[in-house]
Structure 1
């Protein structure tokens, strides 16, 4: 025997799934951003380590100053990328919280609007701030290339 399906139940369920997709799409973007930021962070860390090796090789004063300027710029880039990664991770957590609150609200049938606004708002603000930190890293990278030239390469 087939039970009749109430249109309201189907409509409500479909609406919950539609609304839940928005944070999930944001979460996909957040994951991609984390991958980009971590890859860039690894490259900058490798450059920083290489410059440390070059400085330990006891270069002449002019080269030492040039290398130290590169190191100082890389330290700023590392800080900006650390901030981008941390903010993106917070955005991911807030996005997951948003999806969870949506489902919890649908199960309990309570008003969770304020919690949704807060969690999704935190996610969006953190993504924007992470992108600002990433732009800061990009500007520092381009500024360093124009002012000091490319980083010295290692042997091989």
Structure 2
């Protein structure tokens, strides 16, 4: 006995299978956004860890070292805000995609015409996804631009030992 013997294809069942097929692509997109959120969360954790390492050093430092540490901790604070914005827009995209999937099934179950709403939600999710990626790009550039090896380290030569 095959699966087709148990469930003979009906127009409604065939239509439901099509709806499920339509819902699969957005669900894969959700998985990709989840992976991206994992990257963002890892980056945020590293930035927070670095700022916590610097806090006691800032309080104990004076002069040029203090100024350098203050500058670095300000940049870290800015990066925390930027990563949080990337996370927000990516989660927004995931919520909008979830609504797309829900509306696909609502339309199937109720016969309601929600094609325009689905299209607008999907467009909104793509805008939020792109915006999240752009914010993340900004954060990575901010991080690489501000984390520089100081010139005296690059020019340092070890003393010769006799």
Would you call these one fold, judging by a TM-score over 0.5?
Answer: yes
Query: Match for residue 40 of structure 1?
Result: 43
Query: Match for residue 26 of structure 1?
Result: 29
- Normalised to the residue count of structure 1, the TM-score between the two structures is 0.86
- Normalised to the residue count of structure 2, the TM-score between the two structures is 0.83
Give the whole-Å Cα distance in 2 for the aligned partners of 1:92 and 1:141: 26
State how many pairs are aligned: 147
Give the whole-Å Cα distance in 1 for the aligned partners of 2:26 and 2:7: 32
**What are the residue-to-residue correspondences of 1:70-81 with 2, within 5 Å?**
70-81=72-83
Is the 8 Å Cα contact of residues 45 and 78 (structure 1) preserved in structure 2?
yes
Identify if the C-alpha distance between structure 1 residues 71 and 6 changes in structure 2 by more than 3 Å, giving closer, same or farther. same
Aligned match of 1:136 in 132, 135, 138? 138
Unaligned 5+ runs, structure 2: 152-162
Deviation track 1:107-137 (CA, whole Å, cap 9, x = no partner) reads 1112111110122122111111111111111
Q: Structure 1: which 4+ aligned runs deviate by more than 2 Å?
A: 2-11, 145-149
Deviation track 1:58-92 (CA, whole Å, cap 9, x = no partner) reads x1210011111111211221111010111111111
Unaligned 5+ runs, structure 1: 150-156
Query: Match for residue 156 of structure 2?
Result: none
Shift of the alpha carbon at 1:3? 8.3
Query: Match for residue 11 of structure 2?
Result: 8
Query: Match for residue 70 of structure 2?
Result: 68
Q: CA RMSD in A?
A: 1.9
* Larger Rg belongs to: 2
